[in-house]
């Protein structure tokens, strides 16, 4: 077998065999295939796509490149949740404690930020003392003790993805459905849970800009999970606008706490209720409607918040020590209805405040970000507070003001969930 022939095949839109895919993954990981050749192949995949069979084989070849986490010593059904990534996406901090407070077992491995803003691990690291690296034994004990744990992915969890993702990132091959599906699902399958809830983001602030692509990505990921014996559900959710009230690491933790206190943004709270309910439904094999009632109860009686605090304390974190930078307030210069927010531009601005990374090894500033005071379709008066920008840097306030479109008429209500794929 040789890489040139395999590249040729994909460039000519032919289907690669399981053996060819295994050959590529193992030889790229061990350094026998060069970055140049791998780039040619990844570009051919981005351009010419892969079949479901090829994508499944790629996922399994990647899965087999490293460790697989054994969660068999945790009693009961283990449920994982994964978001394809959004702006201000702190759902994990609300959804997991709600589900865990109802007895769902969640052993979650998360990553750092890849795109514009911090990842779950970055956000947790904004909490002084919080340990994102613990031993496997401690990880399992924590889930047995309090039903949930969130740790940083171990070094040897799908090393093929680490190497391939880094190359995709610098060669313009991130936005390929089979490459995204295999990247996500190889890590999910390696993490050892029994069932998986995927939150597939759709819209201006997501990888998948339209519903059709999001459905295709979801279908492939769900099929890969199910084929591997892990019941998988994809929930396609709206990512046109920032999620919740904040974007930025410590600010998102604070916003999650507010949401668990029942004082969060309405749409974000509903999104969290839906995601947690699917986890509860899968875990207990009950209807989603019944699960929604249970989740709402534990949101409004404070059990979810109690579980979040228990989890933070268990991993050494001190919520009292959360810090934010000084803030600059941005006021509206006209009245009307908020009909649009430039979500991607907002994400870039927040990244440039220091909340996200440009390069993989950049340090991030946990204390910076933004807090939104108006959401889509809210009535806005001239001089109303739109946004607080938390930073110690000088900023161009007009750039922030221009993120908001204020019109005379409001728009149709926005959907939170577009589709469910099983």
- Least Å distance, CB 187 to ligand URA, is 6
* Binding of ligand URA by 184 (CB under 6 A): yes
SS3 assignment, position 60: helix
Q: Which residue among the candidates 10, 78, 82, 388 is catalytic per the annotation?
A: 82
CB of 74 to ligand URA, least distance (A): 24
State the binding string over 121-160 for ligand URA (x if CB under 6 A, else -): ----------------------------------------
- Residues paired with residue 79 on neighbouring β-strands, in sequence order: 195
- Based on the residue annotation, tell me whether 335 is a catalytic residue of this protein: no
Of the residues 182, 183, 191, 250, only one is catalytic, namely 183
* Alpha-carbon distance values, 222 to 13, 80, 321 (Å): 24, 13, 40
Q: Tokens 């065999």 map to which residue?
A: 17
Catalytic-residue membership of 73: no
Q: Which of 84, 120, 147, 332 forms a contact with ligand URA (CB under 6 A)?
A: 84
Among 45, 180, 197, 338, which residue interacts with ligand URA (rule: CB under 6 A)? Answer: 180
Least spacing, CB of residue 161 vs ligand URA, in Å: 7
Q: Concatenated DSSP letters for 362-418?
A: ----TT-EEEES--TT-EE-TT-EEEEEE-SS---HHHHHTTEEEESS--PPPPSEE
> Measured on CA atoms in the order 336, 266, 386, 210, is the torsion positive or negative?
negative
Count of Cβ atoms closer than 10 Å to residue 219 Cβ: 15
Residue 239 or 295: the one with the smaller Cβ distance to ligand URA is 239
Site string for ligand URA, 43-82 (x = CB under 6 A): ----------------------------------------
110 or 298, CB closer to ligand URA? Answer: 110
State which H helix or E strand residue 153 sits in: none
The least CB distance from residue 184 to ligand URA, in Å, is: 5
Alpha-carbon Rg for the chain, nearest whole angstrom, is 21
- Residue 103's nearest CA partner among 332, 282, 314 is 282
Catalytic residue among 105, 112, 162, 187: 187
Other beta carbons within 10 Å of 210: 10
Cα-Cα-Cα-Cα torsion 234, 239, 242, 244, nearest 10 degrees, comes to -40
Residues ≥6 apart with Cβ < 8 Å to 288? 277, 278, 281
Q: Which stretch binds ligand URA (CB under 6 A): 11-19, 152-160, 175-183, 333-341?
A: 175-183
- 3-class SS at 69? coil
Cβ distance to ligand URA smaller for residue 169 or 303: 169
85 makes contact with ligand URA (CB under 6 A): yes
Q: Which of 43, 183, 218, 391 binds ligand URA (CB under 6 A)?
A: 183
Nearer to ligand URA, 165 or 404 (CB): 165
* CB of 66 or CB of 85, closer to ligand URA: 85
CA separation for the pair 377, 412 (Å, rounded): 8
Return the structure tokens found at 285: 């094999």
Q: Which of 162, 156, 155, 152 is nearest to 25 (CA)?
A: 162
Binding segment for ligand URA among 64-72, 176-184, 273-281, 369-377 (CB under 6 A)? 176-184
Q: Which residue is nearest to ligand URA (CB)?
A: 183
By the rule CB under 6 A, 315 interacts with ligand URA? no
What's the order of all strands across the beta sheet hosting 404-407?
Answer: 379-380, 336-341, 404-407
- Residue 82 annotated to the active site: yes
320's CB contacts (< 8 A; 6+ apart) are none
Is residue 185 a contact point for ligand URA (CB under 6 A)? no
CB 172 → ligand URA: shortest distance, Å?
Answer: 13
- At what angle are helices 303-314 and 288-300 packed, to 10 degrees? 70
- Among the residue ranges 32-40, 178-186, 303-311, 377-385, the one whose residues contact ligand URA (CB under 6 A): 178-186
Would you call 183 a catalytic residue per the annotation? yes
Minimum Å gap between C-beta 38 and ligand URA is 15
Q: Are 107 and 71 in contact (CB under 8 A)?
A: yes
Binding site for ligand URA (CB under 6 A): 84-85, 179-180, 183-184
Where in the sequence numbering do the catalytic residues fall? 82, 161, 168, 183, 187
């Amino acid at each position: 077998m040789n890489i040139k022939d395999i590249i040729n095949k994909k460039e000519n839109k032919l289907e690669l065999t399981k053996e060819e895919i295994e050959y590529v993954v193992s030889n790229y990981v061990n350094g026998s295939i060069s970055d140049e050749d791998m780039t040619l192949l990844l570009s051919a995949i981005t351009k010419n796509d892969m079949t479901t069979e090829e994508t499944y084989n790629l996922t399994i070849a990647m899965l087999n490149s490293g460790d697989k986490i054994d969660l068999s010593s945790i009693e009961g059904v283990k449920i994982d949740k994964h978001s394809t990534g959004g702006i201000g996406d702190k759902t994990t901090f609300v959804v997991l404690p709600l589900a865990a407070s109802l007895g769902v077992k969640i052993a979650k491995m998360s990553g750092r930020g890849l795109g514009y803003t911090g990842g779950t691990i970055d956000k947790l690291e904004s909490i002084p003392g919080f340990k994102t690296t613990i031993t496997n034994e401690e990880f399992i004990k924590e889930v047995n003790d309090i039903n949930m744990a969130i740790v940083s992915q171990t070094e040897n969890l799908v090393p093929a993805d680490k190497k391939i993702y880094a190359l995709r990132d610098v060669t313009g091959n991130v936005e390929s459905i089979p490459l995204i599906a295999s990247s996500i699902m190889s890590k999910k399958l390696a993490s050892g849970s029994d069932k998986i809830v995927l939150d597939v983001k759709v819209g201006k602030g997501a990888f998948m800009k339209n519903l059709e692509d999001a459905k295709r990505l979801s279908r492939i990921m769900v099929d890969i999970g199910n084929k591997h014996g892990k019941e998988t559900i994809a929930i396609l959710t709206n990512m046109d606008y920032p999620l919740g009230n904040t974007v930025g690491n410590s600010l998102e933790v604070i916003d999650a706490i507010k949401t668990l206190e029942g004082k969060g943004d309405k749409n974000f709270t509903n999104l969290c209720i839906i995601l947690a309910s699917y986890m509860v439904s899968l875990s207990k094999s009950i209807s989603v409607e019944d699960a929604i009632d249970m989740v709402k109860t534990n949101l409004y009686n404070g059990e979810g918040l109690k579980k979040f605090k228990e989890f933070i304390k268990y991993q050494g974190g001190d919520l009292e020590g959360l810090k934010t930078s000084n803030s600059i307030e941005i006021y509206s210069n006209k009245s009307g209805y908020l009909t649009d927010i430039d979500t991607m531009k907002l994400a870039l601005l927040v990244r440039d405040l220091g909340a996200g990374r440009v390069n993989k090894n950049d340090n991030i500033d946990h204390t910076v970000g933004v807090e939104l005071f108006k959401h889509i379709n809210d009535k806005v008066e001239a001089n109303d507070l739109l946004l607080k920008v938390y930073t110690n840097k000088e900023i161009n306030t007009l750039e922030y003001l221009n993120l908001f479109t204020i019109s005379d008429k409001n728009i149709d209500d926005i959907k939170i969930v577009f589709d469910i794929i099983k």
